[in-house]
Structure 1
Amino acid sequence: MITIREVEPDDPEALALWDEQQQELAERYDAPDLELETRFSSLLVSLVGYSDDEAVATVVLRWSPHHEDGAVEVKRLYVKPDHRGHGHSRALMGVAESFARRAGATRLVLETGDQQPEALSLYDSIGYTRIAGYGEWKDDEGTLCYGRTLPTRLLIVNGTIGAGKTAVAAGVLDALGDRGARVAFLDADAVCQAAPARESDPYHQELLFAAMSRLAPLYRQRGYGCVVVARVVEAPEDRARWSLAFASEVGAPEVVVARVTAPLDERRARIDVREPEGRWRDWAHARTVELDDVLETQALDDVVVENSGRSARDTAEELLAEIGW
């Protein structure tokens, strides 16, 4: 059992483990002049595994300089010889993948070699498949490259009119973007601004999902593995429809529905700011009550967060903490 911690790029214990790895690889490949990277551009995270406070394992992630946007490269996976056989490499790869997912990665890639049978067995067992060679050693016959495609992470910010779902979703975009994640924000209500509406589709739900199924692949092609959407979720089948719209070559996305709430007087005050008078304001004042009752009754949300008396960014930060993003 190891404890895995994030460390600084120049952490001395990590550097010592990298030196040990270089020496071992030089022996395995009979390459005494082998030199491995010690500085990584576009570093995502450096991890070290500890056993009884001894640094015994390491792995590094960086945004790949050799692949499409959204691809994260795994580097420097290493476990000290006397600590092997306990699942430490598998544990490190699991934590590394979690970091990549939270960063909005769409794919993990790595290179290894034919003199590392333990590594080959590990990658095969955790779902990696062979990919085309890349990087400095792409033409070397003994170099083998692997990849694993990650599903999209989709967050739908739900809420009645005036609850602040669009502002909070934008706050999530800012929060994740400030962390260096690859994330996109879609205001689904804006997509549905069209008149007149079909009688069979008064809130443009059919139009929305048709549009989303076409937009989703474009965001994946640009390497955005996290997508945040602001939209009411009031029907039990909506989650499945969102999942279908954002499905990719690796399957269904990870879908989280988070509802934001606010007191009625605050919701109505926000409505009045957007529309001080007129038919839309009167409709929205009534609809916010009706829709709030529907959302409470349906209870389709994974989490519910209060969005009152603070900034939308603060609410977004709490929401992200609640869902583990």
Structure 2
Amino acid sequence: MVIEGVELRQAPPTDPDVLALTSAQQAELAATYGEDQPLVALHPDIAFTVLALDGTPVGCVGLQPVAPGLGEIKRMYVAPAARGWGLSRVLLEALETQAKLAGLTRLRLETGTRQVEAIALYTNHGYRPTPPYPPFEHEVASLCYAKDL
């Protein structure tokens, strides 16, 4: 999918744009779920992709290595003003390409029961429900998905 004005770049978790976008994501989740949500620190080996639209960073997604062949999607986010244009699909496709190039054969993720757009995105891209994995196994608002690449 090609969207005019979209630029993707790789960034570490300490990148100012990554920090701003992931902070906005966490604030949005806190507003949706309250304080009853798992707070998971970012792994130092996570690799982020930042999506800019006409030069303004509006989205990000992280790829975290978990085990040989297994990666986890972390902190997928598109700013509310930039939603509805397919930018999350662009991020997801870029992440899957990155994962394949890194030799990963399976991706997993956790999302919340109230994030219907995220659930639709992942299921429409071949992600299937999977049993919850740590630290989400006792979180009632968590849904876990996985996909073989």
TM-score (norm 2): 0.91
Output aligned runs, 1:173-192, within 5 Å: none
Instruction: Say what the alpha-carbon RMSD is for the aligned residues.
Output: 1.6
Q: Secondary structure at the match of 2:143?
A: strand
Query: Is residue 2:11 matched to residue 1:11?
Result: no
Matched with 2:48 is: 46
- Shift, 1:32, TM fit: 7.5
Provide the identity percentage.
37
Deviations 1:211-248 (A, max 9, x none): xxxxxxxxxxxxxxxxxxxxxxxxxxxxxxxxxxxxxx
Higher relative contact order (CA 8 A, sep 6+): 2
Output aligned runs, 1:133-282, within 5 Å: 133-150=132-149
| Amino acid in the other structure paired with 1:55 | P
Counterpart CA distance in 2 for 1:19 and 1:32 is 17
Where structure 1 has 5 or more consecutive residues not aligned to the other structure, the ranges are: 151-325
| Amino acid in the other structure paired with 1:14 | V
- Shift, 1:36, TM fit: 4.4
Q: Do 1:79 and 1:89's aligned partners in 2 also have CA atoms closer than 8 Å?
A: yes
Query: Is residue 2:103 matched to residue 1:101?
Result: no
Counterpart CA distance in 2 for 1:72 and 1:9 is 16
Deviations 1:108-127 (A, max 9, x none): 00000101000001011011
Output aligned runs, 1:114-125, within 5 Å: 114-125=113-124
Distance 1:141 1:92, change over 3 A: same
Deviations 1:191-230 (A, max 9, x none): xxxxxxxxxxxxxxxxxxxxxxxxxxxxxxxxxxxxxxxx
Counterpart CA distance in 1 for 2:44 and 2:95 is 17
Q: Do 1:22 and 1:34's aligned partners in 2 also have CA atoms closer than 8 Å?
A: no
Deviations 1:56-89 (A, max 9, x none): 000000112xxx5210000000000010000011
Counterpart CA distance in 2 for 1:34 and 1:139 is 10
Counterpart CA distance in 2 for 1:23 and 1:9 is 17
- Shift, 1:54, TM fit: 0.5
Bigger proportion of residues as strand: 2
Q: Do 2:38 and 2:139's aligned partners in 1 also have CA atoms closer than 8 Å?
A: no
Q: Secondary structure at the match of 1:148?
A: strand
Matched with 2:125 is: 126
Structure exhibiting the larger radius of gyration computed from Cα positions: 1
Counterpart CA distance in 2 for 1:14 and 1:55 is 9
Q: Do 1:26 and 1:34's aligned partners in 2 also have CA atoms closer than 8 Å?
A: no
Number of paired residues? 145
